[in-house]
Amino acid sequence: MKKELLIASALVSTLGAASVANAVTATMSGAHMTGLQGNDTDAADASIAQDTTSDFSVSLSETTDGGIGIASSFMLANESATSGLQTAGLTLTFTDGSKLDVIKAGNAAASHDVSVPGSAGSPGVSVTSANNAQTGLDFFGEATAIGIEWHSAADFMADGLKVSASISADDGVAASSTVALESSWGIGATYVTSAGDTAVTIGAGIADSEFKDSASQPEGSNGFHVGFSAVTGNLTVAAGYANGDKIRNNGATEYDIMDNSVSKIGVKYVAGDVTLSAGFTSAEADDSTTLGTAGGSLDTKDETMLGVSYAVASGVTANLGWKDIDATNDGSNDTTGGSSWYVGATMSF
């Protein structure tokens, strides 16, 4: 209850502290990506199909007479089957440069993971849903819609440093056949500096989440990530590592994913209108349907990615991508691994 009151007080007191401006500025943006995707898995014959994703979103923003910026956004359409429609909460920007996200704020740990180059376009290939090895640096760090996330201004306590902190509370969703998130917190930081002609970015985050279950209290989700990116001229080299535990709902099945580790490395080179990229990700996890008990055999995923992008015209990019996944599920070969290629274009506005 104290968490809910804290979050509600932060929203009400901040919005009521200054008079509201008379108009709202709306901007629109979107993208349409279409191409051909070829898949050759270990369990099926090679296939080629069209792959299309389209989105159209609206951003709303205005500044009060007291200098506080208020912003939100919503998505009118998103044809990607996995992304779905997205609606943001509110972002309040203060005169000192700090920000406060309220309502569906997210987790601060995820705000500071370093982007690692990989492929281009949308190459496919997915392993069996029973394989629970997580490949993202922010695989942990959940949050409910009832939450706040604070972002510091630039150069917080030191030149080049920015920090964030978040907390979310129980949204009242009851756990039935699957678990439901009860509460979470997260802390993250990004530090930007230079070493000669090289711009260096270091990002790190830590988070913890608690879940509730219809039968018994499951283990929590928690973890940390750290990564770096170095840019010298047109060359970017980046790497990251994450480790932690995660609760996952796979249909009606609850999985306790323990000691999941992710290692990523990637490189990108820009030569005029052409961008070349490559990346490698290795992940492994011990998963179990008995919450709080290790399964014994590991799930693994090794992803190798290559990409070429060409800026054809303003807002138009041609993409050629390739991905290969080598995976095991509970120590045995995962026959849904394989390779995939993509060729297509993205048009953005």
Considering the entire predicted model, what is its pTM? 0.83
In whole angstroms, how far apart are CA 2 and each of 29, 148, 189?
39, 14, 26
Q: Hey, is 110 helix, strand or coil?
A: helix
Question: How far is residue 50's CA from residue 79's CA, in Å, rounded to a whole number?
Answer: 13
Query: Could you report the per-residue pLDDT of 320-339, keeping only the tens digit for each?
Result: 999 999 888 887 777 777 89
Question: How far is residue 167's CA from residue 175's CA, in Å, rounded to a whole number?
Answer: 20
Residue 5 reports pLDDT greater than 50: no
Average pLDDT estimate for 220-243: 95
| Higher per-residue pLDDT: 83 or 21 | 83
Q: Residue 242's closest CA among 265, 221, 219, 263? A: 263
Please answer whether residues 168 and 184 qualify as being in contact, where contact means their C-beta atoms are separated by less than 8 angstroms: yes
At 19 the pLDDT is: 46
The topology under which CATH files domain 2-25+38-348 is Porin (2.40.160)
Query: Could you report the per-residue pLDDT of 31-62, keeping only the tens digit for each?
Result: 999 999 998 887 777 889 998 888 899 999 99
Average pLDDT estimate for 79-99: 79
Q: Hey, is 207 helix, strand or coil?
A: strand
Query: Could you report the per-residue pLDDT of 152-192, keeping only the tens digit for each?
Result: 999 999 999 999 999 999 988 877 767 788 899 999 999 99
Residue 300 reports pLDDT greater than 70: yes
Span between the terminal Cα atoms of the chain, in Å: 44
**Amino acid in the structure at residue 339:** S
Average pLDDT estimate for 141-151: 93
Domain boundaries in the chain? 2-25+38-348
At 1 the pLDDT is: 45
At 11 the pLDDT is: 47
At 287 the pLDDT is: 81
Residue 20 reports pLDDT greater than 80: no
